[in-house]
Structure 1
């Protein structure tokens, strides 16, 4: 096959105006993508679009060594790929770094094939300047990374604020209510009239109700059981209260001895567990919840399953920031989060965390 733009596939030269003849040369020259022919590590042909990518005129670029048109660090790779195509008679598509006339690098996507040119083996192909697309992708990736760093920072600040608020609520407000209850109890012991006694008993009941609310709020802000009793106990405690509040039946299963997770991993796992239960209460219309904890020498897995309506993947819910937050929390501590459908119905949220290299311990 001849790769010259003036030659037909059968080797004959097309005559102007011949019936049914396709004007290949005009198509090649007017193409918006770069078209080139490489032979003996030199450029033997380039259309105007290819020349424009490199900053040369077509007459300047023809005959130039391939290394003059490729970024120095990419020369060896491009030459190797060209040699492979000639050896195997194959085609290949890849991205590389070209070199502009002014010395700057350009990103190119090329697709070349082995052909015959002027009676000798050559590589002919097309090239597209993807520099702008690569810049957009780099900017997008940088923005994503900055967003993830911001999310990590916000989560850290939020947890610090939650822990501080939980301590203040529990210690200060809880202490005030406890003092009120104790003083009211002493008043009740000295009360002589039924009216005063009744008012005092109501005051004690109100103080006790306030103490319970303080304990609930403090626990929701930061789980004290997580630090004192461990992750599994904190999960069981929260699940029990959640199911009682929402009239759900729960099953918890734990396999293996819980190997040491870092404090950050424990907190991330607990928050993901909390958010999974919140989603069940808001959207699932479930009757049963199943929590499974599996531990081996390398990974910790926490799965939360329900028998509700399940996820509708074809119509994702707008504003579902909870799912995004869960995935980001898992990523922050080196884990992965998967959310899918259960069988025969419902949703399954599975968190997998890597464990430290130390052996398992209580």
Structure 2
């Protein structure tokens, strides 16, 4: 697509001295049967021959921001903006020799009436010589809407990126609170319950030396020993649950083990929890990468595995992580139901949309398709710069 600007300073003073009567005579055989249609057309119509405008209707002149009299007989090079002159004349020369039809987008630089229109042209033989006959279509409104859509899309992407950053920061904060505050309180509670349980057992044994705990002494004391033991067990289970939630919010293993080992540990837990066989393989030499890139890849992996657990009804999952000098490729394929027909288009699938948006933030590519076992397949390719892992935000 070529961008052409009309010169705001063009006037008809420099028009080639050519009789308007001659022009009318030349065009008589063209205008007689079609004049009414051509003159009333909402599309601009023009004829270029020998580098000059041989005919333009009022609509085309209006699109150019010039009067019809200024364009008739004028050189194409005279009405073109000097910055676009070379490209325009090159295209004209190519077209007049019979080159394929292509459109030009002309953006008016007129301050009083900005806008743009596109022109199309076809080579013909006119009065025994090559000429270009074409039409112009005003696309000012369409371009305005397109630019608004592009701007809205850009703002939406910025909003999603910001939302992901806020969500990640909030996950970090909650993970810290769970790990440091709630985890610390539960650990203290566990020690207190342990001392209480030991104290009750000691008192209980004092009634019948040598007897087993909770089998001697008053019934109320025996019941208290059982309750303390159960509370201690529940506290331990709560600590483990908090640790698992904290790890899910902020995978601390990434800080210490790296991406490969973190994925391997997650897949082991996935297999135990859901009973789905998992095969994990890596190729290439693993290296540390930027922290945000690492987190982004991990979040896409998490979402893909969550989708498999919830929707795939798969019995087997194959995960591969390939390391190259300048990129990391993650592939996750299952033997389940596969994606729905509209899932590949990502319409109405917020999880898949989130994965695609994260891939865009990483300047990578996310492909959704069918795996070798007829299930779903997610492939992620991310360009990386290794050896620059950020220490910010680590637990």
Cα distance in 1 for residues equivalent to 2:110 and 2:295:
56
Give runs of aligned pairs for residues 24-39 of structure 1, distance below 5 A: 24-39=34-49
**Correspondence list, 1:265-280, <5 A:** 265-280=293-308
Distance across 2 between alignment mates of 1:148 and 1:99: 30
User: Which residue of 2 is the match for residue 7 of structure 1?
Assistant: 29
2:372 is matched with 343
The answer to whether structure 1 residue 251 and structure 2 residue 279 are counterparts is yes
Query: Is 1:85 the equivalent of 2:113?
Result: no
Alignment CA distance shift 1:226-1:303 (3 Å): same
Q: Which residue of 2 aligns with 1:164?
A: 173
| CA apart distance, 1:7 | 2.6
C-alpha distance in 2, partners of 1:141/1:102?
Answer: 23
1:330 aligns with 2:359: yes
In structure 2, the residue matched to 1:219 is 247
3-state SS, counterpart of residue 233 of structure 1: helix
* Higher mean C-alpha deviation, range 321-330 or range 108-117: 108-117
Which stretch of the first structure deviates more once superposed, 102-111 or 317-326?
Answer: 102-111
1:127-206 correspondence to structure 2 within 5 Å: 127-191=136-200, 192=204, 193-206=221-234
Shift of 1:57: 4.1
Tell me the distance in 1 between the aligned counterparts of 2:141 and 2:282.
52
Kindly provide the CA deviation profile for residues 91-131 of structure 1, in whole angstroms up to 9, marking residues without a partner as x.
42122325477665542322212233344332221111222
CA distance in 2, matches of 1:341, 1:43: 56
Q: Does 1:236 align with 2:236?
A: no
2-structure distance, mates of 1:29, 1:138 = 31
- Which residue in the other structure is 2:120 paired with? 111
- Give the TM-score taking structure 1 as reference length: 0.87
Is the CA contact (8 Å cut-off) linking 2:65 and 2:110 kept in structure 1? yes
Q: Which protein shows a greater Rg? A: 2
The more displaced of 223-232 and 40-49 is: 40-49
When structure 1 is superposed on structure 2, of 116-125 and 149-158 the one drifting more is 116-125
Q: Give the equivalent residue in structure 2 for 1:45.
A: 55
How far the C-alpha of 1:224 sits from its partner, in A, is 0.8
1:281 aligned residue: 309
Q: 1:4 to 1:204 in 2, by over 3 A?
A: farther
Structure 2 Cα separation of the partners of residues 358 and 163 of structure 1: 23
Q: 1:314 to 1:143 in 2, by over 3 A?
A: closer
Quote the residue 2:207 is aligned against: none
Which residues of structure 1 form unaligned runs of 5+? Answer: 15-22
CA apart distance, 1:24: 2.9
* Conserved? CA contact 1:54–1:100, under 8 Å: no
Partner of 1:18: none
Q: Aligned equivalents of 1:346 and 1:188: distance in 2?
A: 53
Q: Secondary structure at the match of 2:42?
A: coil
**How far apart, in 2, do the equivalents of 1:94 and 1:260 lie?**
49
Rounded to whole Å, the distance in 1 between the matches of 2:157 and 2:82 is: 35
Q: Structure 2: any 5+ residue segments left out of the alignment? A: 1-24, 205-220, 389-395
| Alignment correspondent of 2:326 | 298
Aligned-residue offset at 1:217 = 0.9
2:46 is paired with a residue whose SS is strand
CA distance in 2, matches of 1:358, 1:168: 30
Q: Tell me how far 1:200 sits from its aligned partner.
A: 0.8
Q: Tell me the TM-score normalized by structure 2.
A: 0.80
Q: How far off its partner does 1:68 sit? A: 4.8
CA RMSD of aligned residues (A): 2.4
Q: Which residue of 2 aligns with 1:20?
A: none
Residue 188 of structure 1: CA displacement?
1.6
Structure 1 residue 28 displacement after superposition: 2.2
Residue 243 of structure 1 deviates from its aligned partner by 2.4
**SS of residue in 2 equivalent to 1:356:** coil
**Stretch of structure 1 that moved more, 349-358 or 28-37:** 349-358
